[in-house]
Amino acid sequence: MIKSMTGYGQAQGDFNGVSYAVEIKSVNNRYLKTAIKLPDIFSFIEDDIEKLLRNNLSRGTVNFVLRLKDISGNSLFEIDEKALQSIAQKLHNAVSAIGIEGKFDISNLLSLPGIVRPILPDNEQAKMIKEKILEISNQAMDQLIEMRSVEGKSLEEDLTKHCNAIEEDLQKINERSPLVINSYAKKLRQRADILLAEAKLKIDEETLAREVAIFADRSDISEEIARLDSHIKQFLQFCQANEQAGRRLDFISQEMLREANTIASKSADGEITAHVVDVKCLIERIKEQIQNVE
């Protein structure tokens, strides 16, 4: 069954006083493009997240975001008290030496480089944090895949409906094609009879048969009909296949449109042309929809 490239998944979990929230969003793209946003102190798991995304998805623009919530006071950051005290003392000495009075805003001091520092986890902590984040990420990925599968089912139903409509038009074209040749032969004979009657000449049956044969060969669309029918069957087969079929379906739809254009160029019959227009409209809808198939 085909899958859509559009989906969303989210999950969260707690570990050592920190609540981790993961969001994964995906939209259509011809290739797989990932964008991973992590807090700086968790950059060490970026490669693992990238591997997780690529192992589960083959196409689409995928955005992965890790957010931290409900952080306890001393879980991830610490204040360099000695540096803060040293800076405050130097500022106090400088103000006293100049002879002015003033108060220091502690928030301004905390914004100075190096005063507030992230607590980098040691190897053991990093391993446990990575395991927890990957566990949450897998839960979000499961939701994303489920959503893509549900939407893919809807896409498959719609694509199948369009293919069935094309087959109906194709059947009508196939039934109409032999009648066109007979109609051309009849009209050609009538025109020849009128022209030759004025000249009091008799129609050359061999010449007439040759002209009809040339027309029949030039307007023969049986091969194009057979190929288009084969493309439709392949298309429906790949819709049912348990694989990423987006690129294959895109290629097949292009071949379907090429055969329809050839039928249109060969046919000189208004009824067949009308059916071909319907077929081409359906193929264009198919081509638009499969841009969102993984």
For the chain, the structural domain boundaries read: 7-74+121-150, 77-116, 152-292
Q: Are strands 60-69 and 32-37 parallel, antiparallel or unpaired?
A: parallel
**Tokens standing for 109?**
């001091």
Q: For 149-162, write each residue's pLDDT tens digit.
A: 999 999 999 999 99
**Pairwise pLDDT comparison (126 vs 122), residue with the higher score:** 126
Distance CA 221, CA 180 (A): 11
Burial of 18-54, coded b for 16+ CB within 10 Å and e otherwise, reads bebbbbbbbebeeebebebebeeebeebeeebeebbe
Split at pLDDT 50, 70, 90, the class of 204 is low
Q: Which DSSP state fits 291? A: G
pLDDT at 189 over 60: no
What is the residue type of 75? S
Q: For the domain covering 7-74+121-150, report its CATH number.
A: 3.30.230
**Pairwise pLDDT comparison (288 vs 197), residue with the higher score:** 288
Nearest to 26 by CA among 46, 47, 3, 42: 3
**Pairwise pLDDT comparison (68 vs 52), residue with the higher score:** 52
Quote the longest CA-to-CA distance of the chain: 130
pLDDT value, residue 258: 92
What is the residue type of 53? L
Long-range contacts for 186-191 (Cβ within 8 Å, ≥24 apart)?
Answer: 188/212, 188/215
Mean pLDDT confidence for 33-62: 92
DSSP letters spanning 241-267: SSS--HHHHHHHHHHHHHHHHHHHHH-
Mean pLDDT confidence for 192-211: 55
What is the residue type of 254? Q
Tracing tokens 């999950």 back to the chain, one arrives at 11
Residue pair 18/72 in contact (Cβ under 8 Å)? The answer is yes
Q: For 206-243, write each residue's pLDDT tens digit.
A: 655 565 555 554 656 778 889 999 999 999 999 887 66
Distance CA 148, CA 164 (A): 24
